[in-house]
Every structure is written in C-alpha cells, then in structure tokens.
Structure 1
Amino acid sequence: MPTLKEQVIAASREIGIDKIGFTSAAPFDYLEASLIEQKKNGHSSGFEHKVLEERLYPELIFDQPKSIIAIALAYPTKIHNKPARTGAKRGSFARASWGIDYHDILRDKMAQLIDAIKELADEDDEVTFKPMVDTGELSDVAVAQRAGLGFIGLNGLLITPEFGSFVYLGEIITNIPFEPDTPMANQCGSCTRCIDYCPPKALLGDGRLNATRCLSYQTQTKGFMPEEYRPKIRSVIYGCDICQQVCPFNKGKDFHFHPDMEPDPEVVMPELQPLLTISNKEFKVKFGHLSGSWRGKKPIQRNAIIALANVKDRTAIPQLLQLIDNDPRPVIRGTAAWALGQLVRDVTPEMLDFLQQAADKEEEPEAQVEFHKALLILNERFEER
C-alpha cells in the first residue's frame, strides 16, 4: 500500500503540479541574521512581510505545524506567435507576468491538492492547511530549497534541475507529518554570469540582492524612477529577466504545460504609445489578468514613457507634449519632460517656451527637477545648432 506521501505525489501529478517536495515545519531561523542585515543595509524592497519572526517560525502563523509542502509550476519562456508587425515600437512584460496571474493559478492548484489530501488522509484525523503564494509570511525559495525542489542560485532564485528558474512557487503548511525530502546544495560553482550581466549590479554575489537596485523592483515603484535606472530598463515595462536569461541552467528551457500561462503577444508585448492615454477601464480589460498589473496603470505608463525614450521613438513627441500639458499626475508630467530631453533634436524656440511655461506652473518639487533638467539639455542643444 502506498504511503500517504506517495499518494499525495501521485495526486499532484494528476492535478498538473510539475514538481512537489516536502520539508519539516522547523524554524527558518538560519535566515535571521541575513534578513536583519538586508534591512539594516537598506536592501529590502518593502514588499516583504513586515513581522520578521513570522517569516522564520511557522508555529507563529499556524497551529501545531508538522510539515510544509512545496510546489513548483513551470512557465513558458518563448512566445510562439509574435505580435503583428505594425511598425510601432513595443514594450514587454517579463516572462513571470505572462498569462493569467500566477497567484491565481497557484492558489487553484494548491486548493485542488488540499482537497485531494483531505480525501486521502485518515478520516479520524482533523487535517488543517495554510496555503501561501509569494505574499505569504515564509520565503518561497527557502521553503522550496529545503523541500528539495532545487537550489538557490547566486541570483537568489530557485533553480530546478528540470525547469531551471522559470518556475512559480507556492507552499502549504499542514499539521500532517510527512517524511521530509533532502535539500539541494548550490550548484552554481564558479559561474557568475547573473552577477556579471545584471545592469544595475543588484546581485551581491552570495545569493542575496539589493532589492532596491533590482530593475524588476524599479519597474514596480510608483514614484519617479531614479535616472540611473531609466536607460537600463530598455523597453521592458514590467519586471526583468536578465539574470534568468544568462543562466546556463536555463539554456533551452521552455515549457508549455499550462494553457493559463500562455502569453497573448499583443498583451505582453504591447505597443508603447497607446499606453500613454489608456483609460482605467481599458487597462483593466487588457492587462488586469496579468500579475504585472498589480500596481495599477501609472507605473506601466511611466515605464512606457521611459521605454519610448530608450528606443528613440521621436514620433511620440506630440503625445509627450500633451501629457505635460494635460496629465494631472506629476510623475507622468515629469517623466514626459525627461523623455523630451532625450528625444528632441530639432529644438525650436516654441518648444523651449512651452517647456518653460510648463515648468513655471509645475508645483511638485520632483517634477520641477525633471523640467529644469530637460530645459538645460534642450537649451544647450538649441545653442549648438
């Protein structure tokens, strides 16, 4: 007769879970010093769970935990149908945001797995569960590594032997005691490609990162993006894939197991200019199902303006002028002014007058800085004619 663990593994395959592992509910207190140092050094993103102890001790968030079940779902890395060629410049969402929001997909898979375990478990036992995805208290990668799904690479991501790091992770705390699997040790060896190729040098070299320097983090902030990072995002308007793309463990990895994860090329590689004037309703209809929409449309619009400057799309100049003149949001006005400074080559007196008037009536200090920088650049360009 198969053990409960063996039956759960078999059930997970039927549900469509690509990888499953088990670990004890012992504390993750070995992470404490690193997490404290990360926060002290200002390397945290601010998106982390606020109570440190709850990130380390499962018993603080679950009554009498005995085990944690970790799951992984592999997601696609290549778009098989490219978007239509219209001549318009396009942006892109990072691969982890393709398809239906992975939080919803993982929650559904874990709900199915919990239902299956309840049917398989002894009817006399009261079994309890706490599923978590990404926004839970525990560290997804730490749980997955200890449960034997893979190892934590120098880029801080879980790398599985089968699917590389292109996996979504979730975990379930339970009061059922399962035999734990064997953790995997780091296998990066002397390879430092992820560290070497990270444009803002966010990776610290030991599997940790300065989250505030990560381009994925920068695309998700709501205020002005620091000027240092603007050229580095290129035409990506959400997330960053660079440390995954250069990783040797990811070479040739492209799995299409889950229809809900398949990208719509017109959605994940959208034309940039229409994003500048998209309404809230249109944004929700087109992008609301993506995990990359979680911060709303303003960061995406700000990133689209930066991307237009990076790809040198001078046909966007009229729209940028309209944003400066009409948009109620200082971040959008100021970023549009910066983009004009990058794009305008044939500077006219009328252009300078327009920008000066906009700067004079701008009340938000950070936006004022952007206007003054753009005016400085364009005045110099005008005098050099």
Structure 2
Amino acid sequence: MDYKKLKKDIIAYSISIGIDKIGFASSDPFIEMKNLLLRQQSLGYQSGFEEKDIDKRTDPALIFDGPRSIIAIALAYPSKMKDAPRSKRGERRGIFCRASWGTDYHVLVREKLEQLAAYIDSRVSEARFKLMVDTGELVDRAVAERAGIGWSGKNCAIITPEFGSYVYLGEMITNLPFEPDEPMHDQCGECTKCIDICPTGALVQGGQLNAQRCIAFLTQTKGFLPDEFRGKIGNRLYGCDTCQTICPKNKGMDFHVHPEMEPDPEVVKPLLQPLLQISNREFKEKYGKISGSWRGKKPIQRNAILALAHFKEETAVCELIEVMQKDVRPEIRGTAAWAIGKIGGEDAKSALIKAQSVEQDTAVLLEIEKGLEFFTVQDGV
C-alpha cells in the first residue's frame, strides 16, 4: 500500500465532505499532556467530566490494539449570530456559548469521522479505527496540536491560523501507518489577554485551567452555584466565550460553512422567564438538539434564575416567588429565593419572610436568609 498517496487521497476526500482541516499524528504516548494532567489532578483543577484514568487519556495503545497513527479533523463554526434578538426590560434573554449553536457538534463531527473511516475502509480492507469526539479518552487538544491542526493557546483552546479557535475537534486512532504532519509552533507570544480577562481567574497561567473555577464548567453543574460566582455568571446559560472573544487571533473570524451549525436565535438566546416553568418535554423539544442540553434542564433553569437576578428584572419576581414556593427541587427553590432578594422590592421581602416560616430544607433556608440579607444591606443595618 502506498500510504503517501493514500494520505493525499484522504485529504482530498476530507475536503469534498466538508472537513475544514485535517492532520496526521503519531500514536506515541502524550508525555507532556500526561504531566500536565497529573499536575491538574494534584491541584484539584479537574472538572470531573473527564476520563479518570490519566494513562488511558495519554497512551493510545491502552485504548486501541496496535495503533500506528491518529487522524485529527476540525470543523469551523460561526462566531456571530444573524438577527440576534435584543434583551430588554421585561424580555430579558440568556445566552448559550457559540460551541452550543446549531446541531450538537458531537453528532456533526462524528458523522464526518464515520464518512472518513468508511472511505479509508473502502481503500484498505484491514483498516481499523477508534473514533472520538470530546467524550473519548484522548485529549482532543493534544491530538490536534500534534497533528498540526493548530497550536494550543493560553486559553486552553486549539487556535488555527485559518479559523481561530472557533473549531470543533475530533480524531480517529488507526492501525495504518500514516506519515505524521509537523506540529504548529505557539503563536500566542507575550499576549495574556485571555488570562487577564477571565471573569473568575480560572486561567491560572497560559495553557493551564482550573476547571473548578471556569464559568463554562460551572454553568453545567447541577447543585447550588457557589456564592462567589453568582455575580460573575451574568446571563450565561451554558458555557462561556470570554477567553475566545478577547483573543486577537479570533478577530474577524466568522465562518458560516455548515448550515447545521447555524444558530436559532430563539434557542441560543432565549427569553429567560419562560425557562422557569418549562416542562421536560418542552425543554427536550426546543433544546434537545444542541450540545448545551446534555445535562438536562436543571442547570439551565438555575442559570436563568441567576441571570434574572443579574438583570434585577423586577417583572420576574412573581414567577420567581412561585418557583420558590412550588418547585420540588431544593437547588431551584433556593436559587430563586436568593434571586428574589437580589432583585428586591416589598413583594420580594414579604415572600421571603413567608417562605422562611414554611420551608423545611436547611439548604433552601440558608438561601432564604441570604436573600433577606440583601434587604438588611439596603436598609443600612
């Protein structure tokens, strides 16, 4: 088999099916990434969503029999929304991050990988593959960097010269010995804008992220959001783009080459108040196709409540009181109580006092107390 020719043919085929960038890497262990992950683990910086076995995350031979190379791909996604609705008093809106616009990228990237694998299989009958998109064992960023897709930026994203960091990544391990491409050298230079602007200081240094402080991670948690982050989440419902939008390498980067990635403005920038009472069925019907729905409606609803508090949206107080009184989930009742106090007003204060006399859950009672403390500050006590 002429693998040099096959590699050229694969590249040509990848372009024909809409893959925006492709690269080839060796299947050697990712030693530098392993050391970084071990440090992350020792510092308690991991999110908990990752594969827990660091050896599996960094050694292809532990998850695939006889790996010879890895093929990495990237798909460019849009950074700007056409006809984005405006958020205004009485009609406040939240926002999903750009990586959650359009059809779930896990589906889109996997489809491209499956097409690519089918093509290679048609050329080499003994070919074997293991496909991965985000939830696989390997670190997508490490593979993409080694394959020359882009360099690993200080914001912990792969940055490509052509598309900036607005790319979805995927890869396949294979038993075929493709010649590796040259990794791309770092082009961040002395720039630290992403580190400087991070709202929670999650970017501890270039290329190292404390996921426990990252807003993108925090928006996906299901419990009470820690107090120190409630004022920083803004109107984010899922994810955070701050370290991408500030990046000079992303200036002017906006690609609309995949129709499936185009955002529905009413889905990715939705009205907040309707989210408070949305049913599971309604949530699945409206949001089920985007990646930001993967944790269910609970985190989104909690974040919507915090966003209403961020806006101090007085028109939402009545609905928030109903949530505080009737929702069966303590995290949602409690967050509503905190938000009611944050927004303020006489109706808010009396509702909190009434709730305090009937609420049985200790965690919710604590949130009610926090809500009432806002009035103490307002009254100058």
Please list, as runs of the form range in 1=range in 2, the aligned pairs for 1:84-99 lying within 5 A after superposition.
Answer: 88-99=91-102
Distance 1:312 1:85 in 2: 13
Please list, as runs of the form range in 1=range in 2, the aligned pairs for 1:196-345 lying within 5 A after superposition.
Answer: 196-344=196-344
Q: 1:83 aligns with which of 76, 82, 85?
A: 85
Q: Deviations over 1:291-336 (max 9, x none)?
A: 0000000000000000011112110000011011111111111101
> Are the structure 2 counterparts of residues 85 and 245 from structure 1 closer, same or farther at C-alpha, using a change threshold of 3 Å?
closer
Q: 1:58 aligns with which of 46, 60, 83?
A: 60
Identity of aligned residues (%): 55
Distance 2:346 2:350 in 1: 11
Q: Which residue of 2 aligns with 1:26?
A: 28
Task: Report which stretch shifted further, 86-95 or 153-162.
Answer: 86-95
Q: Which residue of 2 aligns with 1:347?
A: 346
Q: What amino acid sits opposite 1:101 in the alignment?
A: D
Please list, as runs of the form range in 1=range in 2, the aligned pairs for 1:108-147 lying within 5 A after superposition.
Answer: 108-121=111-124, 123=125, 126-147=126-147
Distance 1:37 1:305 in 2: 35
Distance 1:329 1:302 in 2: 10
Kindly state the Cα deviation for residue 340 of structure 1 after the two structures are TM-superposed: 1.0
Q: Which residue of 1 aligns with 2:44?
A: 42
Q: Deviations over 1:100-157 (max 9, x none)?
A: 0000001101000111111223x4xx11000000000000000000000000000110
Kindly state the Cα deviation for residue 232 of structure 1 after the two structures are TM-superposed: 1.1
Kindly state the Cα deviation for residue 290 of structure 1 after the two structures are TM-superposed: 0.6
Q: 2:19 aligns with which of 14, 17, 21?
A: 17
Q: What amino acid sits opposite 2:255 in the alignment?
A: F
TM norm structure 2: 0.96
8 Å CA contact 1:347, 1:381 repeated in 2: no
8 Å CA contact 2:87, 2:93 repeated in 1: no
Are 1:101 and 2:100 an aligned pair? no
Indicate the SS of the match to 1:171. strand
Q: What amino acid sits opposite 1:316 in the alignment?
A: A
CA RMSD of aligned residues (A): 1.6
Kindly state the Cα deviation for residue 377 of structure 1 after the two structures are TM-superposed: 2.2
Q: What amino acid sits opposite 1:230 in the alignment?
A: R
> Are the structure 2 counterparts of residues 66 and 75 from structure 1 closer, same or farther at C-alpha, using a change threshold of 3 Å?
same
Q: Which residue of 2 aligns with 1:361?
A: 358
Aligned residue-pair number: 378
Distance 1:359 1:201 in 2: 35
Q: What amino acid sits opposite 2:259 in the alignment?
A: P
8 Å CA contact 1:38, 1:44 repeated in 2: yes
8 Å CA contact 2:341, 2:349 repeated in 1: no
> Are the structure 2 counterparts of residues 65 and 343 from structure 1 closer, same or farther at C-alpha, using a change threshold of 3 Å?
same
Indicate the SS of the match to 2:209. coil
Q: What amino acid sits opposite 2:369 in the alignment?
A: H
Q: Which residue of 2 aligns with 1:175?
A: 175
Distance 2:102 2:367 in 1: 35
8 Å CA contact 1:352, 1:379 repeated in 2: no
Q: 2:367 aligns with which of 346, 355, 370?
A: 370
Distance 1:286 1:84 in 2: 20
Q: Which runs of 5+ in 2 are unaligned?
A: none
Q: Deviations over 1:217-263 (max 9, x none)?
A: 01000000111111211111110000000000000000011011000
